[in-house]
Amino acid sequence: EIALRVEWAKCKARQARWHEELRLLQEEMRRVIAYGVSKERWWRERPLQRTVEDAALAEGLSVYALEHAA
């Protein structure tokens, strides 16, 4: 009976660790997605933050920023 209780306690602890790992993994995935969305927004706003006289350079900078946003 003692051995059974010990085994039950070990299984319960293992289950708790897996639940914690799952919670941490879900939070990590949420943060990675939020970071990606934030970085995309940042790149999309980049062309608006700089004024350039040369039209070709302005177009190139805009395309570069949009490629990084994709």
Residue 50: predicted pLDDT: 84
Mean per-residue pLDDT over the chain, rounded: 94
Tokens (6 digits) for 49: 């933050």
pLDDT digits (tens, 9 = 90+) for 26-47: 999 999 999 999 999 999 998 8
In 3D, which of 52, 49, 46, 36 has the Cα closest to residue 66? 46
Asked if the model's pLDDT at residue 23 lies above 90, the reply is yes
| pLDDT above 70 coverage of the chain, percent | 100
Pair 3, 25: CB distance under 8 Å? no
Split at pLDDT 50, 70, 90, the class of 11 is very high
